[in-house]
Amino acid sequence: MINNKLGAKLEKRKALILSIAILACIILDGYAVYIVGKEIVYTHYFYIPIILAGLWYHKKAVYVAIFLGALHVITTSFSLGFDALMFLECIQRAVMFIAVAYVIGLVSEKRAKAEEGLRKERDRSQQILGTIGEAVYIFDPDLTITEVNRTHLETFDVNREEVVGRKCYELFFGRKERCRDCPIADVFEKGACVRVERKIVLPDAEKYFDVIFCPLFDNGSTVTEAICDVRDITGRKEMEKKLARSERLATIGEFSSGMAHELRQPLGVINNSVYYIGTKLKDIAQEKVKRHLAILEKEVKHANRLISDLLDFARVDEPEFKDCNVNPAVEEALFSVEIPPNIKLKKALKEGIPMVHADIYQIQRICVNLISNAVSAMPEGGYLEIKTDEDKKEACIEISIADTGEGIPKENIEQAFEPFFTTKARGIGLGLSLCKKYVEAHGGIIYVESEVDKGSTFTVKLPINPFLLKKKNTAEKQKIDLR
C-alpha cells in the first residue's frame, strides 16, 4: 500500500515536470515568433521535454515530439511569411525531434523491461528462498551476507537490513575476524560443497545445526558467491539421545529383571529365618536381639520393594481396567506405608466422586510410591496432606499428595521422573518413573510443584474414562491429518 502511494506521487511529479517543460518550449517559441518577430530558433531547448518523455514514458515520447515539431513548423514557417527553404528546415527539425524521441523511447523501454525482468527474477528468488523451511544465506568472497531468506528473519525476529551487509562471523559468533576453521574457504578456493555440524549454546538451551555450503559460479568456473543452508537438527539429536537412552534402559531392564529374580530367593530365605528366630526368641528378654531382628526385617522389606520396582520397570504390563473408586486405593496405600509419629497426616478424600476405569493395583502403587517419597523427604517430621477431588471441566479425578519436606531444586524438577535419577543416599530412582509410566498408561498426567525447604506437591490426574479420551485424541489426530 505504501509503495503504491509513493509510486502514484512520483508519477504525478513526472507529469508536472514534463508539462512545465513543454509549456516553457511553447512560451519560447511564441516569444521568438510573435514578440521578437525574427527567426530566432530555440529548438535545442525542445529536446529537454522530448528526452524526459522518452526516459519516463518510452515510445510515447513520439507524441510529444510530433506536437513540438508541428508547433515549430506552423509558427516559424507561416507566421513570419512562407519561405520554402525555412519550411524545409523546420520539417527537418521536426523529423529530428521524432527520431530522437523514438530512439530514446526504444532504448529506455528495453532498459525498463530488463529491469522489470531482473526485479521479477529477484522477487521469484526471494519467494523460493522464503518457502524454504531452513535459514538460507548467500555470502560473497569477503564473507559478507548479501542475501537472507524469511526463515532467518522470522526465527530471530530481525529486519533484513540488520543482517544483509554484515560479516557472518560478526553476526553469528560476535567475532571481529574470520574463524580459523571456517569451512567457506574451501568453497571459494576449490568450488566444492562442504557440510558441517555446529553446536550453539544459547542462554536457555543448546542448539544443533546441520550447515551446508555450496558454491555459486559465474558464466565461467569462478566462484562468485556461496549459498549456505542452515538446518536445525536439535530435535533429531534429542531423538538420537532418547533412542540411545532407551536402548541402555532396555539393557538395564533385562539385566535388572534377571538380577531381581536371583535376589528374591535369598531374601525370602532371610525373611523366613528372621521370622523363625523371632518366634524362638519370643520368650527371651533380649531387647537388643529383638531390635536387630526388627531392623533386619525392615531392610528385607526395603530390598523387596526395590526388587519389585525393578521388576515393574522391566515389565511392560498393560493395565487391567475395571470400574473402581480411587479412595480405597489411597487408604490401602496409607496402610502399606509406615508413617512416623513426627509426621502429621491430613486426609481430604472427597466422598461421592465418580468411579474411574482404571487398574486399582497400579493406582495403589502410584500412591504408595508418592507417599513413601513424601515421608522420606521429612526426616525431621512435618505435615503430609492427601486429597482426592473431581475436576468436572477436564472430566478427571485428581489425587494430590503434599509434604512440607526438603523440596526439589529447580534444576532437578525436569529430571524427577527420569529412570535411575535420584538424590537420595538410598534408592535407585525408579519410584517416580514408575508412577509416570502407570499414569500415562491410564491416559493421565502427573506433575510436581516444589520449592526447596518448603515442600512438594505431586498431582495425579486420571481421566474418568481413558477409552473416551483415547477416542477423542484419535479423532482430533485424524482431523488434523485430513487438514
pLDDT value of residue 330: 92
d(CA 22, CA 45): 10
- Which amino acid does the sequence have at 34? Y
- Counting Cβ atoms within 10 Å, is residue 128 exposed (0-12), middle (13-18) or buried (19+)? exposed
Residues paired with residue 462 on neighbouring β-strands, in sequence order: 397
Q: Using the 8-state DSSP alphabet, how is residue 170 labeled? A: H
Quote the cell numbers at residue 431. 519410584
The beta-carbon contacts of 249-256 under 8 Å, at least 24 apart in sequence, are: 249/419, 252/420, 253/313, 253/314, 254/314, 256/310, 256/311, 256/313, 256/314
Q: Following CA atoms 402, 406, 411, 412 in sequence, which dihedral angle do they give, to the nearest 10 degrees? A: -70
Look at residues 364, 273, 256 and name the one whose alpha carbon lies nearest to residue 307.
Answer: 256
Angle between helices 61-79 and 2-30 (to 10 degrees): 10
Strand ranges (E), 167-235? 194-201, 206-217, 223-232
Q: Following CA atoms 270, 275, 280, 283 in sequence, which dihedral angle do they give, to the nearest 10 degrees? A: 130
Quote the cell numbers at residue 341. 509419629
As a whole number of Å, the end-to-end CA separation of the chain is 32
Domain ranges of the chain: 2-128, 134-232, 245-314, 322-472
Helix spans in 315-404 (H): 326-336, 360-376
Number of H helices, E strands in the chain: 14, 12
CB within 8 A of 75, min separation 6: which ones?
29, 30, 33, 34
d(CA 311, CA 255): 10
User: CATH number of the domain at 322-472, out of 3.30.565.10, 2.60.110.10, 3.40.50.720, 3.30.360.10?
Assistant: 3.30.565.10
d(CA 400, CA 461): 9
Q: Specify whether the backbone of 10 is left (phi greater than 0), alpha (psi in -120 to 50) or beta.
A: alpha
d(CA 143, CA 472): 53
CB within 8 A of 312, min separation 6: which ones?
365, 430, 434
Quote the cell numbers at residue 360. 486399582
Hey, is 139 helix, strand or coil?
strand
- Distance from the Cα of residue 2 to its chain's centroid: 31
d(CA 388, CA 363): 13
Quote the cell numbers at residue 352. 461421592
Strand ranges (E), 29-134? none
pLDDT value of residue 165: 85
Q: Architecture of 134-232 per CATH?
A: 2-Layer Sandwich (3.30)
Stated length of the chain: 483
User: In whole angstroms, how large is the CA radius of gyration of the chain?
Assistant: 44
Quote the cell numbers at residue 233. 537438527
Q: Are 209 and 197 in contact (CB under 8 A)?
A: yes
How does pLDDT run along the chain (483 residues), one tens digit per residue? 555 677 678 888 888 888 888 888 888 777 777 777 665 667 777 888 888 888 888 888 888 888 888 887 777 776 656 677 777 877 888 888 888 888 888 888 888 888 888 777 766 766 666 666 677 888 888 888 888 877 777 767 778 788 888 888 887 777 788 877 777 877 888 888 888 887 776 666 677 888 888 888 877 778 888 888 888 788 877 787 776 666 665 666 666 655 665 666 666 667 676 666 667 666 555 666 667 667 777 667 766 666 666 666 656 567 888 888 999 999 999 988 888 889 999 999 998 889 898 899 889 989 998 998 899 889 889 999 999 999 888 889 999 999 999 888 887 877 777 766 565 545 556 778 888 888 888 889 999 998 888 899 999 999 887 655 444 444 433 333 323
Half-sphere exposure of 5 (CA within 13 A, CB side): 2
